[in-house]
C-alpha cells in the first residue's frame, strides 16, 4: 500500500473517487469492505482515488470467473481473439494522452516517458493481435511414408499476472496480450502503487470486447491477492515482474504444484565506455539510461565501466549535464526527472548513499530534493559516485533510483570482466568505434539485451525481453518468445498409410 510521511498525510475527501474490482465482467466491491488510497508521488497531497483492498475470497471469485470463461475463449478461433486485441490497441491509441497523463499523475514518470509506456502497450497489443493469425508451429516431414507430423500451441489455462508499478501500462500489456491471444484467461493483480492505471487499462479491455471473465482485475496487497493465486491449484501459469526476493518466493511455492512461472527480476545494468568512444554520445546515452524514469527501470544503467584515460573527461560531462536536469512534476513538459514512487523508495536510495560514501567518492547529488514545491513529493537528486570498485555494494546491488557509479578499469578485458561480475544479467551496452571490440562485447556480455553505442534502455516489443542469471528464470516477454510462457506444445502425428508403422524401427534397414 502507498506509504506516506507524517509531513503530508493525503486527505481523501468526498470528492475522491472509489474504484472497484472487475470480476466476471462486473465492477464490484471487495467482500472485505476495505479500501486503500493511491497518491501522486510528485505531490502526496493529491489523492487519486480509493481502491478495493482485495482479499483471498475476491481472488477466489476472480479465479472462478476465469475458469468459467475459459472453455468458450479457448474455443474462439485465434484470429477472432486477435481482432479483440486489435480493437483494444485502437482504443488505447485513441486514449493515449488520457492514459499517459493518468500515469504521470499516479506513477510520476515524466509525460514524454508516460506516452512511451502507453505506446509500448499499444505496440505489443498490435503485435499479439497479429499472432492470432500466426502462432506458428512446425509442419515437418515424418520419417515414415504416408504419415503427417506437425506441432501446435495450445493455451495452458488461467494466467495469474502480477505486475510492477514502474511500467504500469506496458508491462501488464506485455503479459496479458500473449496470454489472451493464445486462449488463456487472466486474473490480473497490479502493484498497489498504480491501481488507477490498471483500472483504466481494464476499462478499455472491457470496451474492446473481451468477454466477461476473460480478464479479471483484483487490486490489493501481495500477501492477500498475489499469494492466493500462487497457491491456487487452478492457476497453472504465473507471470511476475518485480523484486528478486518476491520472485524467488513465488517460484519456490509454485514449484510445489509444478506451475509455469515466468519471472522478470532485478538488474544491475552496466555501460562500458572505451577510450575511443564518442564521449558526447556516451554522455547522452548514460544520462538517459541512468536518470530517465528516475532510475526506476529494470533496464536502467547504474554502473558505468570506463577505461581509465577517459574517466575524467566523461565524468566532467556527466556532472555538468546531470546538474542541469530539472526535477518536478512530470506533467510539466520541461521537467526531466520526476519523483521516486514512494517515501520508502526515498529512504532506500538514501541508505545506499550512506553506503556509497564509504565505498566511493560522491561527486554529485546524494540528497532528497525538497526545494519549494518538491517538498510535497518523493524527489531525489540525480547522484553520481566516482571511483567505485566492481564488487562494492553500490556496484552490485539494485538501488532502483537515480544513482550512478563510475567504475574505472585498465582495459577492454577488465571492462568485460567487471560488466559480467554481477548476479544479474538484463541489459548492457558498450560505447566504442572499434567494430571488433563491439562484436566481442556482443558475444561476451552475459545479458539478455545488448546495445552498441546506445544506453541500456529502450527495448522494442517485437524482440525477446528478459535477462540471464538471477534476472529471471529463462522465460522471455515480448516477441514471439512471449508465447512460450502461455502455451503448451502439442505434437500431432497422422498416419494415413492404413498399416502399422513403427518409428525408429520400420524405416531402418535390417542389420546383420
Contact 147, 368 (CB under 8 A): no
Read off the C-alpha cell for 175.
503479459
Distance CA 390, CA 383 (A): 18
Point out which span in 30-38, 272-280, 433-441, 453-461 binds ligand UN1 (CB under 6 A): 453-461
CB of 456 to ligand UN1, least distance (A): 8
Binding mask 378-417 for ligand UN1 (x = CB under 6 A): ----------------------------------------
Site string for ligand UN1, 245-284 (x = CB under 6 A): ----------------------------------------
298 touches ligand UN1 (CB under 6 A) = yes
DSSP for 198-239 reads HHHHHHHHHHHTPPTTTEEE--S-IIIIIHHHHH-TT--EEE
Shortest distance, position 390 Cβ to ligand UN1, whole Å = 23
Strand order in the sheet with 449-452: 361-364, 383-386, 403-409, 301-307, 269-273, 427-431, 449-452
Residue 118 CB coordination number (10 Å): 28
Q: Is the dihedral of CA 36, 40, 42, 45 positive or negative?
A: negative
Determine, following the binding rule CB under 6 A, whether residue 471 of this chain makes contact with ligand UN1. no
Q: How many residues bind ligand UN1 (CB under 6 A)?
A: 10
Q: How far apart, in whole angstroms, are the C-alpha atoms of residue 21 and residue 105?
A: 21
Segment interacting with ligand UN1 (CB under 6 A) among 154-162, 218-226, 232-240, 451-459: 451-459
Residue placing its CB nearer to ligand UN1 in the complex, 298 or 419: 298
- Whether 457 and 297 have beta carbons less than 8 Å apart is answered as yes
Q: Are 84 and 208 within 8 A, CB to CB? A: yes
Count Cβ atoms below 10 Å from residue 9 Cβ, excluding itself.
Answer: 10
Interactions with ligand UN1, residue window 99-138 (CB under 6 A): 120
**For ligand UN1, the closer CB: 105 or 297:** 297
N- to C-terminal Cα separation, the chain: 74
Of residues 273 and 459, the one with the C-beta less far from ligand UN1: 459
Which of 173/279 has CB closer to ligand UN1? Answer: 173
Instruction: Identify which of residues 132 and 168 has a Cβ nearer to ligand UN1 in the complex.
Output: 168
Q: How far is the CB of 406 from ligand UN1 (least distance, A)?
A: 21
Instruction: State the nearest-atom distance from the C-beta of 116 to ligand UN1, in Å.
Output: 8
Q: Which is nearer to ligand UN1, 431 or 465 (CB)?
A: 465
The only residue of 199, 262, 457, 485 in contact with ligand UN1, by rule CB under 6 A: 457
Q: How far apart are CA 470 and CA 422, in angstroms?
A: 9
Q: Which of 113, 131, 197, 298 is catalytic?
A: 298
- Cβ-in-10-Å burial (0-12, 13-18, 19+) of 382 comes to buried
φ, ψ for residue 418, nearest 5 deg: -65, -40
Which among 77, 73, 122, 76 is positioned nearest to 96, based on CA atoms? 122
Which one, 65 or 127, has the nearer CB to ligand UN1? 127
The residue (of 69 and 201) whose beta carbon lies closer to ligand UN1 is 201
Secondary structure letter of residue 474 according to DSSP? S
Compute the least distance from the CB of residue 297 to ligand UN1, in Å: 4
* 366 phi and psi angles, rounded to 5 deg: 105, 0
458 binds ligand UN1 (CB under 6 A): yes
Nearest distance from C-beta of residue 164 to ligand UN1, angstroms: 7
56 counts as binding ligand UN1 under rule CB under 6 A: no
Cell readout for 82 is 486477435
Interacting span for ligand UN1 (CB under 6 A) from 50-58, 61-69, 296-304, 351-359: 296-304
Least spacing, CB of residue 301 vs ligand UN1, in Å? 10
> CA 343, CA 346: separation in Å to the nearest integer?
5
337: which 3 cell numbers?
A: 526527472
Among 298, 260, 284, which Cα is nearest to 448's? 298
Determine the Cα–Cα distance for residues 191 and 186; give it in Å rounded to an integer.
16
What is the Cα–Cα distance from 263 to 256, expressed in whole angstroms? Answer: 16
In Å, what is the CA distance from 65 to each residue of 62, 225, 234, 239, 335? 5, 15, 11, 19, 43
In the residue annotation, 29 being an active-site residue is answered as: no
Q: Contacting ligand UN1 (CB under 6 A), which of 40, 166, 262, 283?
A: 166
Catalytic residue among 113, 264, 307, 470: 264
- Of 8-16, 147-155, 193-201, 452-460: span binding ligand UN1 (CB under 6 A): 452-460
Question: According to the binding rule CB under 6 A, does residue 459 interact with ligand UN1?
Answer: yes
Nearest alpha-carbon partner for 283 in 453, 31, 156, 424: 453
Minimum distance between the CB of residue 209 and ligand UN1, rounded to whole angstroms? 27
Site for ligand UN1 in 167-206 (CB under 6 A): 167
Q: Is 264 a catalytic residue?
A: yes
Of 199 and 299, the one with the shorter C-beta distance to ligand UN1 is 299
Distance of closest approach, residue 175 Cβ to ligand UN1, in angstroms: 11
Binding site for ligand UN1 (CB under 6 A): 120, 166-167, 241, 297-299, 457-459
Active site residues: 264, 298
Amino acid at each position: 500500500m502507498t506509504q506516506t510521511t507524517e509531513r503530508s498525510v493525503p486527505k481523501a475527501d468526498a470528492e475522491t473517487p472509489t474504484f472497484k474490482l472487475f470480476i466476471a465482467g462486473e465492477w464490484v466491491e471487495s467482500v472485505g469492505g476495505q479500501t486503500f488510497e493511491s497518491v501522486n508521488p510528485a505531490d502526496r497531497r493529491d489523492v487519486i482515488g480509493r481502491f478495493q483492498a482485495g482479499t483471498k475470497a475476491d481472488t477466489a471469485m476472480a479465479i472462478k470467473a476465469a475458469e468459467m470463461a475459459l472453455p468458450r475463449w479457448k474455443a474462439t478461433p485465434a484470429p477472432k481473439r486477435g481482432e479483440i486485441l486489435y480493437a483494444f490497441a485502437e482504443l488505447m491509441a485513441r486514449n493515449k494522452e488520457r492514459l499517459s497523463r493518468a500515469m504521470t499523475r499516479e506513477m510520476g514518470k515524466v509525460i514524454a516517458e508516460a506516452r512511451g509506456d502507453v505506446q509500448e502497450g499499444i505496440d505489443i497489443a498490435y503485435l499479439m493481435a497479429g499472432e492470432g493469425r500466426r502462432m506458428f508451429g512446425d509442419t515437418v516431414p515424418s520419417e515414415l511414408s504416408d504419415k503427417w507430423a506437425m506441432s501446435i500451441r495450445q493455451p495452458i489455462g488461467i494466467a495469474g499476472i502480477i505486475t510492477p508499478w514502474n511500467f504500469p501500462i506496458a508491462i501488464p500489456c506485455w503479459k496479458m496480450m500473449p496470454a489472451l491471444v493464445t486462449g488463456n484467461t487472466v486474473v490480473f493483480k497490479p502493484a498497489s502503487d498504480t491501481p488507477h492505471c490498471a483500472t483504466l487499462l481494464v476499462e478499455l479491455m472491457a470496451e474492446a470486447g473481451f468477454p466477461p471473465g476473460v480478464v479479471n482485475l483484483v487490486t490489493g496487497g501481495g500477501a492477500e491477492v498475489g499469494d492466493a493465486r500462487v497457491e491456487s491449484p487452478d492457476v497453472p501459469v504465473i507471470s511476475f515482474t518485480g523484486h528478486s526476493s518476491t520472485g524467488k518466493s513465488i517460484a519456490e511455492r509454485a514449484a510445489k504444484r509444478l506451475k509455469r512461472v515466468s519471472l522478470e527480476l532485478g538488474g544491475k545494468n552496466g555501460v562500458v565506455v572505451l577510450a575511443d568512444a564518442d564521449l558526447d554520445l556516451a554522455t547522452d546515452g548514460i544520462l538517459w539510461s541512468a536518470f530517465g524514469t528516475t532510475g526506476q527501470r529494470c533496464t536502467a544503467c547504474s554502473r558505468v565501466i570506463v577505461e581509465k584515460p577517459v574517466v575524467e573527461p566523461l565524468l566532467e560531462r556527466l556532472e555538468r549535464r546531470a546538474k542541469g536536469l530539472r526535477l518536478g512534476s512530470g506533467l510539466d513538459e520541461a521537467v526531466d526527472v520526476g519523483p521516486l514512487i514512494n517515501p520508502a523508495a526515498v529512504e532506500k536510495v538514501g541508505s545506499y548513499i550512506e553506503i556509497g560514501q564509504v565505498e566511493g567518492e560522491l561527486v554529485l547529488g546524494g540528497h532528497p530534493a525538497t526545494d519549494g514545491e518538491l517538498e510535497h513529493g518523493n524527489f531525489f537528486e540525480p547522484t553520481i559516485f566516482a571511483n567505485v570498485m566492481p564488487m562494492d555494494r553500490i556496484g552490485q546491488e539494485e538501488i532502483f533510483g537515480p544513482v550512478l557509479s563510475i567504475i574505472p578499469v585498465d582495459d577492454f578485458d577488465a571492462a568485460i570482466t567487471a560488466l559480467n561480475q554481477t548476479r544479474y544479467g538484463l541489459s548492457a551496452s558498450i560505447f566504442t568505434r572499434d567494430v571488433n571490440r563491439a562484436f566481442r562485447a556482443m558475444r561476451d556480455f552475459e545479458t539478455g539485451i545488448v546495445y552498441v553505442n546506445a544506453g541500456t534502455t529502450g527495448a522494442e516489443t517485437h524482440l525477446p525481453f528478459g535477462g540471464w542469471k538471477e534476472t529471471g528464470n529463462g522465460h522471455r516477454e515480448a516477441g514471439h518468445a512471449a508465447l512460450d510462457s502461455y502455451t503448451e506444445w502439442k505434437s500431432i502425428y497422422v498416419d494415413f498409410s492404413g498399416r502399422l508403422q513403427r518409428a525408429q524401427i520400420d524405416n531402418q534397414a535390417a542389420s546383420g
